[in-house]
């Protein structure tokens, strides 16, 4: 019991130091930001526009790419095929490469002289410096979070339940939508929340693809470079507050949806 208490005390100390490392910089930002400064920032239309742009581009990227990521995750969870390990490694590549390099990679696909760029130009769009380009950059660096979370969710669905449904005459499509997807939904929603949050915080890839219009992380960087810490900090604090509110709300909604789904099963 003594050794258990000692090691528990040690782990609590180490955990406390880690939490302090996370909390102290954030707390310092709030302590050094006066209420009048924050109020002025709330009234700054450029700041509000950048936060709005950040939210809807990240949300749009998450929703659109979820249509591709969820079926793909099911494929990875349920089937073996040649070079599957390589495919799994490719999925994780955007997480490990420098995000400025990720931005250059995306730029190389959507610039005007590429196939995608020419197709967009044909309908009057220039993806570089456009909200669609921003959304693509956000999606590139954040899509692994959704794919991996959805794959884990599908892997946790018992195969016997799917087989039982098919034995009762359900088609593979119906089994997916009536059995697999509802049971994996909590993991999928969690992955979507993480993808949204990751895209919202992206700077490196986005600044390569579109310096203008400015998303919030780019605006914070511009204010810091042009005017210094005192001008950048209130924008950062406001963006953190908005991000936390949306993150908590999405978590509550996903939990409520999961509970309701469990009640109707």
pLDDT single digits (tens) 13-34: 999 999 999 999 999 999 989 8
Q: Where are the domains of the chain?
A: 1-31, 39-263
**What is the mean predicted confidence (pLDDT) over 219-243?**
94
pTM above 0.85, yes or no: yes
117: tokens are 């760029």
5-9, 133-137, 208-212: least confident range: 5-9
Q: Which long-range contacts (CB under 8 A, 24 or more apart) does 15-19 make?
A: none
Q: How far apart are CA 30 and CA 36, in angstroms?
A: 13
Higher per-residue pLDDT: 262 or 244: 244
- What is the percentage of the chain residues whose pLDDT exceeds 90? 79
- Cβ neighbours of residue 176 closer than 8 Å, sequence gap 6 or more: 74
pLDDT of residue 187: 92
Average pLDDT in the chain:
91
pLDDT of residue 246: 85
pLDDT band at 247 (very low <50, low <70, confident <90, very high): confident
Is residue 76's pLDDT more than 50? yes
Span 39-263: which CATH code?
Answer: 1.10.3720.10
**What is the mean predicted confidence (pLDDT) over 40-54?**
95
pLDDT of residue 3: 54
């Amino acid at each position: 019991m003594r050794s258990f208490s000692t090691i528990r005390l040690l782990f609590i100390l180490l955990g406390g130091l880690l939490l302090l490392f996370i909390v102290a910089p954030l707390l310092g930002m709030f302590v050094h930001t006066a209420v009048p400064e924050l109020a002025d920032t709330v009234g700054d239309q450029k700041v509000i526009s950048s936060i709005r742009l950040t939210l809807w581009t990240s949300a749009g990227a998450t929703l659109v790419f979820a249509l591709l990521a969820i079926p793909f995750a099911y494929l990875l969870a349920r089937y073996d095929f040649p070079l599957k390990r390589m495919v799994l490694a490719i999925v994780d590549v955007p997480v490990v490469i420098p995000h400025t390099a990720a931005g250059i990679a995306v730029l190389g696909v959507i610039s005007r002289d590429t196939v995608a760029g020419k197709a967009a130009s044909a309908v009057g769009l220039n993806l570089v410096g456009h909200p669609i380009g921003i959304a693509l950059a956000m999606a590139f660096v954040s899509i692994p979070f959704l794919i991996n979370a959805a794959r884990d969710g599908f892997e946790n669905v018992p195969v016997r339940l799917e087989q039982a449904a098919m034995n009762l005459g359900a088609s593979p499509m119906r089994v997916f939508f009536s059995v697999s997807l509802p049971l994996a939904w909590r993991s999928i929603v969690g992955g979507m929340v993480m993808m949204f949050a990751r895209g919202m915080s992206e700077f490196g890839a986005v600044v390569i693809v579109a310096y203008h219009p400015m998303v919030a992380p780019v605006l914070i960087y511009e204010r810091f470079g042009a005017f210094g810490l005192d001008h950048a900090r209130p924008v950062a604090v406001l963006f953190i507050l908005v991000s936390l509110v949306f993150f908590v709300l999405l978590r509550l909604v996903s939990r409520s949806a999961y509970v309701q789904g469990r009640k109707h099963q």
